[in-house]
Amino acid sequence: MITSKKIPAKIVIYILVIAGAVLSIGPFYWMIVGSTLQSGDIFHVPPKLLPGDYLAKNFQSLNESLGIGKIFWNSLFIALVYTVVSTLISAMAGYAFAKYKFKGKNLFFFIILCSLMIPYQVTLIPLFELMVSFNWLNTYQAIILPSLASPFAIYLMRQNMQAVPNSIIEASRVDGAGEIRIFFTIILPVVRPALAAVSIFLFMSQWNSLIWPLITLNSKEMFTLPVALSSLIGMARIDYGQLMLGTTLSTIPIMIFFLLLQKHFISGILGGSVKE
Amino acid sequence: MMAQVEKVVNTTPNIRVKTRKSFLTPKNAPYFFIGPAFLLILIFSVYPVISSLILSFQEVRGVEKSFVGLANYSRLFHDPIFYKSLLNTFQILIIQVPIMLFLALLIAVGLHSSMLKGKAFFRISYFMPAITALVAASIVFMILLDEHFGLVNYFLSSVGVESIQWLTTPFWAKVSVIIVMTWRWTGYNMVIFLAGLQNIPSELYEAASIDGAGKVKQFFVITIPQLKPVFIFTVVMSTIGTLQLFDEPFILTHGGPNSATMTITLYLYETGFKFFDFGYASAIAYVLVLITAVVSWVQMKLVGDLEE
């Protein structure tokens, strides 16, 4: 009796869960297939659900209309430099907040919390004016610098640094290690998991960011991937094969990383808010 | 006594000598560590937030700025498109967030239940949308939802449903934005719920079974209350995210048709960077700050009241 009751419920759950999974991954599959089809074939009736042979052609035309190599490089360079520097800056600040007593600490931490809560939209216009006055439009630093000190990352690093025992810091001081050396050789290795989570979070937010690059970049050769893709839509005649290839190229590298580093990735994207 | 004092006096200079190798002492080191972040936040956060407030009381014409008092704000009160963007944002918020969180909870509970095999695979599959750029997700759905030849309408027509004008009619355009948001964020919230479920101590369930509570009762008496903090977190985060909605309507519909998917941030972007009306755009930004503060405060208050 018990088993005959349980099996149907099990089957129903399986069907629902599988259907949900198909809905989640389906668009990825279709995006990849679309990147191998000619623009018109993407809307073929009945739909073509298997890869075609137009990938090279799509790449060629995408490269002609955008210079996809340069754009990919822009996105990668910006995201990498941003991630490395921002992670370091937030680890340093987080360390100071967690392990030192100093004048102005509370005031500055209050400022961090405020900037954590205020919507970024407020800063867009003055930042744009600032970029204009620095003559920084269409530069890498315009994309990287304004968000380089991430209040969220600082907050997260502070939380993680607090868990590091004071005794190991004091012991190294007695051994004569300087403050910088303690930070780099003792502290950073201990908080490695937090560094991984924070850097994945920062990389993803920069790699995917649209509105700020959209505002500060207007010359094609400086575009990042999201800006370039949004510019393809604005064209009079949209080439959908190109568009699908562009979205595939912006997604696949992240997907590979994700599949390789699932756990770090999930906790990174969730901003370390979930401990597993 | 004397010997002890001497010892203390003697050791202090020793440490000084050793740390003198670097210019940093435990006293000044925190300023060095915090310096870069402090400078950056001062220039790129604090200054813009203040400057934006001043701008919201000004009219900007080219390089000339003049104070106009509350003119920008009173203009907002009479701006039908602004009202529409507020209304749209809240409509999307009120419909999308509950649907998404309900789905996320449902899937999390399903995956958490012990009878399912291949949990890891499903977890990854569901989380996958959360790694895509919103731009990429919106583009793929823009093509999927094409009214003439899109895959979605093809499937609908094959089961006898008339094709839907997804992106070109006001109602369905909003639905389309909601679909993309739900696709992109459900798995994200599901993983948060799943982690919350895994953190519930199993002793609670064991004790309940001993007391004779069935699975359903356990769900409402143990699972739901235990998940409350996680639930609040997802509600607040989703709300703040939705109030700032930009990428999806920008790509899918550019705010159309007839401003049906115009959101606060999209309107701010158009005012500021299409029409370069910086004063007015800053006023919009400050209204967004106010709304975010009020909504967060109300949510916190509700939670507080529930707790008492």
Rounded to a whole number, what is the distance in Å from the CA of B233 to chain A's nearest CA? 9
pLDDT at A5 over 90: no
Q: Provide the pLDDT for residue A274.
A: 54
Q: Is the Cβ pair A121, B265 closer than 8 Å? A: yes
Per-residue pLDDT in tens (0 to 9) along chain B, 308 residues: 444 444 444 444 444 444 445 678 888 899 999 999 999 999 999 999 999 999 999 998 877 888 998 999 999 999 999 999 999 999 999 999 999 999 999 889 888 876 778 888 888 899 999 988 899 999 999 999 988 888 898 889 888 888 889 999 999 999 999 999 999 999 999 988 988 898 888 888 888 888 888 888 888 888 888 888 888 889 988 999 999 999 999 999 998 899 999 999 999 999 999 999 999 999 999 999 999 999 988 887 877 666 55
Q: Provide the pLDDT for residue A271.
A: 67
Asked if residue B3 belongs to a domain, the reply is: no
E-assigned strands of chain B? 58-61, 64-67
Q: Provide the pLDDT for residue A207.
A: 94
Tokens of A201: 């979070």
3-state secondary structure A113-144: HHHHHCCCHHHHHHHHHHHHHHCCCCCHHHHH
List beta partners, residue B59: B66
Q: Is the Cβ pair A47, B151 closer than 8 Å? A: yes
Asked if residue B33 belongs to a domain, the reply is: no
Q: Which of residues 85-144 of A touch B (CB under 8 A)?
A: 89-90, 92-93, 95-97, 100-102, 105, 108, 111-112, 115, 117-130
Inform me whether the C-beta atom of residue B225 falls under 8 Å from chain A C-beta atoms.
Answer: no
Q: How far is CA A34 from CA A51, B4, B95, in A?
A: 7, 80, 31
- Tell me, what DSSP letter sits at residue B304? H
Mutate to test the interface with A, among B25, B64, B139 (most CBs of A within 10 A): B139
- Residues of A within 8 A of B49 (CB-CB) are 115, 118, 122-123, 126
Q: Which one is predicted more confidently, B25 or A101?
A: A101
Q: Provide the pLDDT for residue B307.
A: 59
Map tokens 């018990």 to a residue: A2
Q: Which of residues 46-65 of A touch B (CB under 8 A)?
A: 46-47
Q: Give the Cβ contact number of residue B33 at 10 Å.
A: 25
Share of chain A above pLDDT 70, in %: 95
Q: Which one is predicted more confidently, A262 or A100?
A: A100
Q: Provide the pLDDT for residue A259.
A: 85
Rounded to a whole number, what is the distance in Å from the CA of A114 to chain B's nearest CA? 9
Q: Which of residues 235-294 of B touch A (CB under 8 A)?
A: 240, 243-244, 246-247, 250-251, 264-265, 268-269, 272-273, 278, 281-282, 285-286, 288-289, 292-293
Q: Provide the pLDDT for residue A11.
A: 83
Inform me whether the C-beta atom of residue A16 falls under 8 Å from chain B C-beta atoms.
Answer: yes
Inform me whether the C-beta atom of residue A80 falls under 8 Å from chain B C-beta atoms.
Answer: no
Name A239's Cβ contacts closer than 8 Å, sequence gap at least 6. Answer: A39, A61, A65, A232
pLDDT at A1 over 80: no
Q: Provide the pLDDT for residue B8.
A: 44
- Residues of A within 8 A of B52 (CB-CB) are 122-123, 125-126
Q: Provide the pLDDT for residue A97.
A: 95
Asked if residue B32 belongs to a domain, the reply is: no
Q: Is the Cβ pair A93, B26 closer than 8 Å? A: no
Q: What is the CATH number of the domain that holds B264?
A: 1.10.3720.10
Asked if residue B70 belongs to a domain, the reply is: no
DSSP assignment string, chain A: -HHHHHHHHHHHHHHHHHHHHHHHHHHHHHHHHHTTS-GGGGG-SS---S--S-HHHHHHHHHHHH-HHHHHHHHHHHHHHHHHHHHHHHHHHHHHHHH---TTHHHHHHHHHHHHHS-THHHHHHHHHHHHHHT-TTSHHHHHGGGSS-HHHHHHHHHHHHTS-HHHHHHHHHTT--HHHIIIIIIHHHTHHHHHHHHHHHHHHHHT--HHHHHH--SGGG--HHHHHHHHHTSSS--HHHHHHHHHHHHHHHHHHHHHSHHHHHHHHTTT-S--
Q: Provide the pLDDT for residue B270.
A: 95
Task: Tell me which residue range forms the domain holding B274.
Answer: 79-307
Provide the CA B177 distance to its chain's centre, in angstroms.
15
d(CA B127, CA B198): 17
Tokens of B154: 């093809």
> B192-221 burial, b for 16+ CB within 10 Å, e for fewer?
bbbbbbeebeeeebeebeeeebeeeebeee
- Structurally, at CATH architecture level, domain A67-234 sits in Orthogonal Bundle (1.10)
Specify the 3-state DSSP secondary structure of B66. strand
Rounded to a whole number, what is the distance in Å from the CA of B305 to chain A's nearest CA? 22
d(CA B287, CA B73): 9
Sequence ranges of the domains in chain A = 67-234
Q: How much is the average pLDDT of A75-79?
A: 96
Q: Provide the pLDDT for residue A7.
A: 67
Asked if residue B7 belongs to a domain, the reply is: no
d(CA B67, CA B58): 4
Specify the 3-state DSSP secondary structure of B59. strand
pLDDT at A178 over 80: yes
Asked if residue B37 belongs to a domain, the reply is: no
pTM of the model: 0.89
Q: Give the Cβ contact number of residue A237 at 10 Å.
A: 5
Share of chain A above pLDDT 90, in %: 58
Number of domains into which chain B is organized: 1
In angstroms, how far is the first alpha carbon of chain A from the final one?
Answer: 38
Q: Provide the pLDDT for residue B16.
A: 47
Q: What is the mean pLDDT of chain A?
A: 89
Among A93, A111, A147, whose Cβ lies nearest the Cβ of B46? A111
Most confident of the following: A1-10, A134-143, B106-115: A134-143
Q: Which of residues 197-216 of A touch B (CB under 8 A)?
A: 204, 207-208, 210-211, 215
Q: Provide the pLDDT for residue A272.
A: 59
Mutate to test the interface with B, among A38, A122, A182, A233 (most CBs of B within 10 A): A122
